[in-house]
Each structure stands twice: as structure tokens, then as C-alpha cells.
Amino acid sequence: MKSICAAVKFLEKKVPDPAKGLPLELFYFVSRLLPLVNVDLLIKDERGRTLLAWRDDVYCGRGWHIPGGIVRFRETLEQRINKVAQNEIGAKIKFDPLPLAITQLIHPDLKNRSHFVSVLYQCRLPSTFIPKNKGLSAKDPGFLRWHEGCPDNLIKYHRKHYRKYI
């Protein structure tokens, strides 16, 4: 027990402000012990199109996904929604305060980032919004595109839980 207490004290010194995020290896360790809470932003325009981002990583694979982010320590869901909108979309959005859905995902084969509780929010942008994409090509992670319907290559988890909203 003393060694665990010593390890905790050591880690607390290495992470003086967990609200600013964790070092990657510590984040992965925590994700092996606890479910992560994230917000997903179902962003629509006046024409009913959905804004999706391209993703290509070990956790979700390759395909379109709904922008989202993991809630930080002492951060409200609303704060994370606004930060995701700014960081991933580059714009302020309007969103409904009540979520459309709350879902859970457990990846039985992944070691890190394998258990999520996801909160989906209905968000709006005007149809005049044009994604800047900062020089990204259509297959670069983070590339944004409006979609008239649900694309066939929506990532598996979003296809299972969010298809009906897109």
C-alpha cells in the first residue's frame, strides 16, 4: 500500500493541474481503469446537412465521424462542447442544452481508451459556414465536410448509435 501512495504522490507532482490535461501515458493508464466521458456534436445547418470530420486512427479506424471530445477534470459538458467546436470546427456553435442521446461503448479488444460514455448534443451552424480545412486533403484526419445524408463510411460506432440522427 505504501508503494501505491508513493506513486500517487509522485504523479500528483507531475500533474499539478489535471484540468489542463494529462501526459499521454498517464491518460492511457487512467483510460485502462475508468470509463471516459465525451461529448459528440451533431452539427446541422438550415438545409439539414450534417458536418462530419474524417478520422483515421487505431481507436476508431478510418471514416467519417461526428466531432467530439473527452471531458477534462472539472470541466462542464457545455465547456467541452464549446472547446470542441472551436478546436475542431473553428467556429462558435449553438447547441440544445438537453442531449439527444447518451450511449456507451466498450471495446473488448483495446487496451487503452476502451470504455466511453458519450453524450450527443444537437448543434447548429448557418449554411453559410464553410469549413476552412487549413490545407488538409479529403483523407487527412480532421478534414471537414457537409453531408446530405449518412455516408457509408461513417465509423462503426457512430454508424451503430448515430445513423438515425444523420
Asked if residue 93 lies in contact with residue 75, where contact means CB atoms within 8 angstroms, the answer is no
First to last CA, the chain: 50
Exposed/middle/buried for residue 37 (C-beta within 10 Å: 0-12, 13-18, 19+):
middle
3 state SS for 101-125: EEEEEECCCCCCCCEEEEEEEEEEC
Given this structure, which CATH class describes domain 35-165?
alpha beta
In the chain, pLDDT over 70 holds for what percent of residues? Answer: 100
Q: Which of 128, 116, 7, 141 is nearest to 64 (CA)?
A: 141
- Boundaries of every domain in the chain: 1-33, 35-165
Residue predicted with more confidence, 57 or 90: 90
3-state secondary structure of 89: helix
pTM of the model: 0.92
Count H helices, E strands: the chain?
4, 8
Position 2 scores a pLDDT of: 80
pLDDT on residue 45: 94
Q: What is the mean pLDDT of the chain?
A: 93
pLDDT at 63 over 80: yes
Within 8 A by CB and 6+ apart from 118, the residues are 37, 38, 39, 40, 68, 101, 102, 103, 104, 105, 161
Q: Do 50 and 123 meet the contact criterion of CB atoms below 8 Å apart?
A: no
* 8 A C-beta contact, residue 106 and residue 114: yes
pLDDT (tens digit per residue) in 92-146: 999 999 999 999 999 998 899 999 999 999 999 987 899 989 889 988 999 999 9
